[in-house]
Amino acid sequence: MAGLTGRMSTVVKAKVSKLLDRAEDPAETLDYSYQKQVEQLQNVKKGIADVVTAKKRLQMQETSLQQSVVKLDTQARQALSGGNEELARTALERKNVAQTELQGLDTQVTELEDQQQKLTDSEQKLRAKIEAFRTKKEVIKAQYSAAEAQVRISEAATGVGEQMADVGLAMQRAVDKTENMKARADAVSELEAAGTFDDITQLGGGEDDIDRQLKQLSSQPAVDDELAKMKSELGPGSAAGAAQIAAGDAAAPVDGAGPAPAGSGAGESGQQ
Amino acid sequence: MIVRISGEDQYRLADEDCARLNELEGAVVAIVEGGSEDGFDEAFHALLDYVRAQGTPIGDEEIETSDVILPPADVSFQEAAGEFTGEGLIPD
């Protein structure tokens, strides 16, 4: 068979025979193969642990982003009922960015779970083959002449070697995937470090560089829609709402410490 | 004939199934050589499904060497194309 499958088969066989060529006599082939097999099994376990670690990191980021989404949503509502539409828009833009990142992380966590499952299955198969090899080598030792033992051991070792190569391929693909995911996880960390998802009420009135970048990142129509929806939920006459907030300003349950958004809306530019 | 689907199982196929297997593989190869991704997934999965349906899985404790090794089910068109031109799925 040529083409796709032929090439894969050839490469796997070449790798396996290279491994076996290092040993010269039957006893050595046998011990060397078995030793290599056990080593490989340890590597697979380590590979699975790495995937689990990468997954946990992403899951922690997910939790923290979920909290940011809730917080920014609450703050947008508070800003809007306080009559400060600009601040509400900023909060919604940041929420939008957080949600987009969250979706990306979610897909990646699912993918990693998939990889983890595949590697666990491969590990079980390899373990079963190694155990079978261990039994078989005792039989070969007891029953065959040196020359025949050599042939039979090679056959068995090649079979196990193929399974090893297959686990190796699965591992390599898992590692490649986690490398790609690291890039996104790092990007989220950078956004967090830049204060993107921090308490919005800590912001001054002016638009800073982060805001300009976020406006580009976030989907504006989605933000417009959400703002309109939020407005209709809060009911017409946000001026009335503003008055309410102004009255109860000190008691307003704004998340986090720091100054509450200017309830009157007029003080906004004056603060700068 | 023994066929391995990488990342899954090894299957034992009857000799008379080989002709059809060759046809299905030929279709995949033709698509990859054509350079356009259209129909790749369908053709490749038809090949894998045939092996899974016609073959008998080989037990984990049985040690056999495969005659043919197929790429994993989630192989991308680019990776498959790399099998011909690049270093393939299994670099040194």
Nearest residue in B to A15, CA atom = B92
N residues, chain B:
92
| Best residue of B69, B70, B85 to probe chain A, by most A CBs closer than 10 Å | B69
| Pairing relationship of beta strands B68-70 and B2-5 according to DSSP bridges | parallel
Shortest distance, CA B85 to any CA of chain A (angstroms): 11
At residue B81, the 3 state secondary structure works out as helix
The pLDDT tens digits for A75-97 are 889 888 888 888 888 889 889 98
Q: With b meaning 16 or more CB within 10 Å and e meaning fewer, what string describes A208-227?
A: eebeeebeeebeeeebeebb
Pick out chain A residues at pLDDT < 70.
Answer: 1-8, 11-12, 15-29, 200-219, 236-272
Separation of alpha carbons A102 and A91, rounded Å: 16
B11, B20, B60, best to mutate vs chain A, most A CBs in 10 Å: B60
The whole-number average pLDDT for the span B13-27 is 88
**Percent of chain B topping pLDDT 90:** 32
Per-residue model confidence (pLDDT) at position A159: 86
What pLDDT does residue B44 have? Answer: 92
Inter-chain touch A3–B25, beta carbons under 8 Å:
yes
Mean pLDDT within B11-25: 90
Question: pLDDT tens across A43-67, in order?
Answer: 888 888 988 988 898 899 999 999 9
Distance from CA of A45 to the nearest CA of B (A): 16
pTM for the model: 0.69
Residue B47 has pLDDT above 50, yes or no: yes
Query: How many Å apart are CA B84 and CA A79, to the nearest integer?
Result: 59
The alpha-carbon gap from A64 to the nearest alpha carbon of chain B, in Å, equals: 31
DSSP-derived secondary structure for chain A: --HHHHHHHHHHHHHHHHHHHT--SHHHHHHHHHHHHHHHHHHHHHHHHHHHHHHHHHHHHHHHHHHHHHHHHHHHHHHHHTT-HHHHHHHHHHHHHHHHHHHHHHHHHHHHHHHHHHHHHHHHHHHHHHHHHHHHHHHHHHHS-HHHHHHHHHHHHHHHHHHHHHHHHHHHHHHHHHHHHHHHHHHHHHHHHTTTTS-GGG--SS--HHHHHHHHHS-HHHHHHHHHHHHHHH-S-HHHHHHHHHHTGGG---SSSSPPP-SSSSHHHHT-
* Of residues A38, A35, A228, the one with CA closest to residue A123: A38
Q: How confident is the model at residue B12 (pLDDT cuts 50, 70, 90)?
A: very high
Whether the CB of A174 is below 8 Å from some CB of chain B: the reply is: no
